[in-house]
Amino acid sequence: MSVALELAADIASGGSTAREAAESALDAIDAVEGRLHAFNLVTRETALRQADEVDRRRADGERLGPLAGVPIALKDNLCTRGIDTTCGSRILAGWRPPYDATVVERVRAAGLVVVGKTNMDEFAMGSTTESSVTGPSRNPYDPGRIPGGSSGGSAVAVAARAGPLALGSDTGGSIRQPAALCGVVGAKPTYGRVSRLGLVAYASSLDQIGPFGLDVADTAALLGVIAGHDPLDSTSIPEPLPDLREAVGAGVAGMRIGVPREFLGEGISPEVAHRVRAAADALAAAGATVLDVSVPAVSTALSAYYVLAPRRPPPTSRVSTGSAMGCGWTRPPRRRCTTGPGARVSATRSATASCWAPTRSPRAITTPTTAPHRRFGRW
Amino acid sequence: MSPRISRDDVVRVARLARLDLDDADLDRSARQLGDILDHAADMSLLDLDGVEPTAHPYPLVNVMRDDVVAPSLDRAEVLAAAPQTEADMFRVPPVKAEEP
């Protein structure tokens, strides 16, 4: 169901136009926005102008990319020149950045049409999209439940078919978790793969901008548009991008995929564990070799995150001691440490070595993304 | 839960940060800050001897460029975002009283 790629192919072949695609997305936004509140701003006029420009470029014989003409929504912490960028906060109300984020330049150059700025937790600090000054976004599958966050509006926009693609940003799960809760595909790229220029920072050494889509092929195609070295972001990786379309097309046959057992232990809900096992089964059915692996360091991941990416209250400790923002597991019980640090770490090292020896190491791992949907409440 | 951070500590930090916290805020903040310190304590239990610090997953070194003039943002457009400007500069409230 590569909605975006198929739409772009249809536009490229003259079956429809970027203008029609933009109008259709804007109508879809109008139809769902009152119920779901995915957007802080809908950029109707600039979208239609930009769509006309794409149609004109094509008519002039310009060769456009694989997603040209496709509508896209941008998280409201991505700088858009002359267009309000609020980060879900009143502090930035009325601010219009004097430049576009690199990813915004790239999506526009590739002929994607920006239809609006999506709702988010204030300054991306949260995992529910409840802390936005414009009010919460709602899960399209049940408006009484959270859509996840902080890129909740982007996930909702794609899930509600108010445009087939969106960009979000992910520091500690802010793309992956709302994507999971809204039933769409979301990816946090490797740090440095996508330029952060023009992303309003949360924790600069962890932030990455990444794509949302309705399937893996669409999402990979969008990553292909935004990724790559940017001389204006000194942390971006100066390496050519691998061919993501080829990688997606290659499938998983023969690939070694690990399922770290630490993610399926204490604190996980039965329904989430069930879905993870179902996913592992599906991968195995598609020809992957699914391995039970152990990654003991996972037990300190949450603590490491909270040391590295300090947050302000109130989401802080409520989240960290509760269901662990978007990770589906709880803070490790103290008793794991009672054997003393030496014993624990040597066990960690040997277990890690046996699982991750280069010749045997899995190419990828499959884990839960989040605890189940919860209803709205005080965050 | 061990009281890793006392209410008095929170009062002091709040004063330094110019935060006006009521009694309930103080108790909640002490608990939350204690939880964060628990996370730090978890990390300190790890034996990291011989583990190289990782600042970036890719071996990047300092990124340098020649010091040459290049196109920049439009000054008028940048200044348009400022609440107050003066002589092509941002105007901000004084942070220190003027010399007598």
A186 near B CB under 8 A: no
Q: In this predicted structure, what is the pLDDT of residue A341? A: 29
Report the alpha-carbon distance of residue A243 to residue A64 in Å, rounded. Answer: 18
Number of CB pairs, chain A paired with chain B, less than 8 A apart: 74
Considering the entire predicted model, what is its pTM?
Answer: 0.85
Could you give the CA distance from residue A282 to residue A295 in angstroms, rounded to a whole number? 22
Q: Is B50 on the interface with A (CB under 8 A)?
A: no
Nearest residue to B11 via CA among A313, B32, B23, B36: B23
Q: Which of A2, A127, A174, A323 is catalytic?
A: A174
Segment B38-47 mean pLDDT: 85
Residue B60 pLDDT > 90, yes or no?
A: no
Contacts of B60 in chain A (CB under 8 A): 192, 234-235, 237
**A192, A234, A317 ranked by CB distance to B57: nearest:** A192
pLDDT < 70 stretches in chain A = 1, 310-360, 377-379
Of A75, A154, A188, A299, catalytic = A75
Residue among A41, A61, A58, A40 nearest A50 (CA): A58
Q: Which long-range contacts (CB under 8 A, 24 or more apart) does A47-51 make?
A: A47/A22, A47/A71, A47/A113, A47/A114, A47/A115, A47/A116, A48/A19, A48/A22, A48/A23, A50/A22, A50/A108, A50/A113, A50/A114, A51/A17, A51/A18, A51/A19, A51/A21, A51/A22, A51/A23, A51/A113
Contact assignment for B39 to A302 by CB distance below 8 Å: yes
Q: Is B86 helix (H, G, I), strand (E, B) or coil?
A: strand
The chain A residue lying nearest B41, using CA atoms, is A303
| pLDDT above 60 (res B56) | yes
- 3-class DSSP state for residue A167? strand
Over residues B11-18, mean pLDDT: 93
Give the pLDDT score at A131: 94
User: Per-residue pLDDT for B1 more than 60?
Assistant: no
Tokens of A335: 């008793």
Cβ of B80 within 8 Å of Cβ of A98? The answer is yes
- B28 to chain A, any CB pair closer than 8 A? The answer is yes
Within 27-46 of A, beta carbons closer than 8 Å to B belong to: none
Cβ neighbours of A106 (radius 10 Å): 20
- Which residues in chain B have their CB less than 8 angstroms from residue A228's CB? none
Which position has the higher pLDDT, A50 or B35?
Answer: A50
Tell whether B80 is within 8 A of chain A (Cβ).
yes
Residue in this structure with the two tokens 């997953």, named with its chain if needed: B57
Quick one: pLDDT at residue A310?
A: 63
Cis ω on the peptide bond leading into residue A127 (within 30° of 0)?
no
Q: What is the mean pLDDT of chain B?
A: 86
- Report the gap between the CA of B96 and the closest CA in chain A (Å): 24
* Other CB atoms within 10 A of residue A24 CB: 16
**Closest approach of A304 to chain B, Cα-based (Å):** 7
- Residue B46, chain A, CB below 8 Å: the answer is yes
What mean pLDDT comes out for the span B60-64? 81
Residue A227 class from Cβ within 10 Å (0-12 exposed, 13-18 middle, 19+ buried)?
A: buried
Q: Is A240 on the interface with B (CB under 8 A)?
A: no
List of residues 6+ apart from B15 with CB closer than 8 A: none
A231–B32 CB contact, under 8 Å: no
pLDDT attached to residue A73: 98
